């Protein structure tokens, strides 16, 4: 397949996956959007935690939410990748938001997400299929229908 054909094929697949995501998980997408809006309106902080290969996306999204460029102007920061549940006490405050990004579903995240929720932090997730088990530890989660975020 030529380079251009490959790019077009990938773009079409991404479009199909977005349509499928909205058709199958519209309620969850709406819940996540609502949570982010609540955090912004309450002028609370949004913490982002990226696990594994998507960790750099947490830093990118935090910059966008903070308005570094043309973001939404929510106080946001990417949390350290090696954060543990005990350390979360220093970051998460009631009514803050925590957006977790994970494709692999590391088991170390489950206690961290539960700790955040027990502190009154609203936890939402963008999760890959292998990380779907983390959805139960989130207030709302979307399971992405692709193996990689660059397609979804």
pLDDT tens, residue by residue, 89-100: 777 889 999 999
Does 88 have pLDDT greater than 80?
A: no
Instruction: Write out pLDDT tens, residues 91-131.
Output: 788 999 999 999 887 778 898 899 999 999 999 999 998 99
Superfamily of domain 3-143 in CATH is: Glucose-6-phosphate isomerase like protein; domain 1 (3.40.50.10490)
Query: Domain ranges in the chain?
Result: 3-143
Q: Residue 29 half-sphere exposure, CB side, CA atoms within 13 Å?
A: 10
Q: 151 pLDDT band (50/70/90 cuts)?
A: very low
DSSP letters spanning 44-65: --EEEEEEGGGHHHHHHHHHHH
End-to-end CA distance of the chain: 22
CA-CA distance, 75 to 23, in Å (whole number)?
31
**Taking all residues of the chain, what is their mean pLDDT, rounded to a whole number?**
85
CB 92, CB 46: distance < 8 Å:
no
pLDDT at position 71: 54
Instruction: Write out pLDDT tens, residues 14-58.
Output: 788 778 877 888 899 999 999 999 998 898 999 999 988 888 999
pTM here?
0.82
- For residue 12, what are its two tokens? 């079409």
């Amino acid at each position: 397949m030529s380079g251009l054909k490959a790019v077009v094929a990938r773009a079409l697949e991404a479009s199909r996956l977005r349509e499928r995501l909205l058709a199958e998980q519209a309620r969850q997408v709406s819940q996540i959007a609502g949570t982010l809006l609540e955090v912004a309106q309450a002028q609370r902080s949004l913490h982002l935690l990226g696990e594994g290969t998507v960790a750099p996306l947490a830093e990118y999204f935090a910059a966008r939410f903070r308005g570094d460029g043309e973001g939404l102007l929510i106080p946001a920061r990417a949390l350290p990748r090696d954060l543990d549940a005990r350390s979360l006490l220093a970051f998460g405050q009631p009514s803050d938001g925590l957006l977790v990004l994970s494709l692999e579903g590391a088991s170390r995240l489950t206690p961290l997400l539960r700790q955040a929720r027990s502190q009154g932090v609203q936890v939402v997730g963008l999760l890959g299929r292998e990380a779907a088990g983390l959805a139960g530890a989130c207030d709302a989660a979307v399971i992405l229908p692709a193996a990689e975020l660059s397609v979804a």
